[in-house]
Amino acid sequence: MSDIRQTRKALATRILEGVGNASPSERRSAFNNSDLAEPVGTLVDKTARHAYKVTDEDVAAAKKSGLSEDQIFEIVVCAAIGQATRQYDTALAALEAATGME
């Protein structure tokens, strides 16, 4: 599975730095789950920490705040990938600590 680190990096680069409807800073904030105004902050935090708690109202509130559906799509994707990336990086660092790898 030697390609996995490169494909993951390509994914993160695309969603954060490529062309999008949400601004790069909004996408980065969603990825990091930080510095987002309400109601988008709640939608992003729920997606990152317990996505099964996201409700119709959370998404409706994001739309009502002026975001387009495409912007919400991008922001939610960034939130999900950001949280999974933090988990992966934490576990990989723990594996390297356990095996004595640098």
Partner 1 sequence: MRLAILDSGHGFGTKALFVLIRMVSRQPVLDVIKVVKYRVDFYGGPMSRVTHEAMRGPSTWSVGDRELMAAFVAKTNQSEFCIKAHSAVAQRAYGESKRVSEMLSDLDAAAIGEPLRTTLLMLGKLSRENTVDADDLRAVLAAGASPQQIEDALAVCFSFNVIGRLADAFGFSVPGPEAFETGAKYLLAHGYR
Chain centroid to CA 69 = 16
Give me the 63-82 binding string for partner 1, x by CB under 8 A, dash otherwise: ------xx-xxx-xx-xxx-
Compare residues 8 and 28 and give the one whose CB is closer to partner 1: 8
| 67 neighbors 19 (Cβ within 8 angstroms) | no
Reported as type and span, the H/E element at residue 17 is helix 4-17
10 contributes a contact to partner 1 by CB under 8 A: yes
21-50 residues in contact with partner 1 (CB under 8 A) are 43, 46-49
Compare residues 28 and 73 and give the one whose CB is closer to partner 1: 73
Which residues make Cβ contacts (< 8 Å) with residue 46, sequence separation at least 6? 53, 54, 58
What is the helix, strand, coil percentage profile of the chain, to 5?
Answer: 75, 0, 25
**Interface positions with partner 1 (CB under 8 A):** 1-4, 7-8, 10-11, 14-15, 18, 20, 43, 46-49, 51-52, 54, 56, 59, 69-70, 72-74, 76-77, 79-81, 83-88, 90-92, 94-95, 97-99, 101
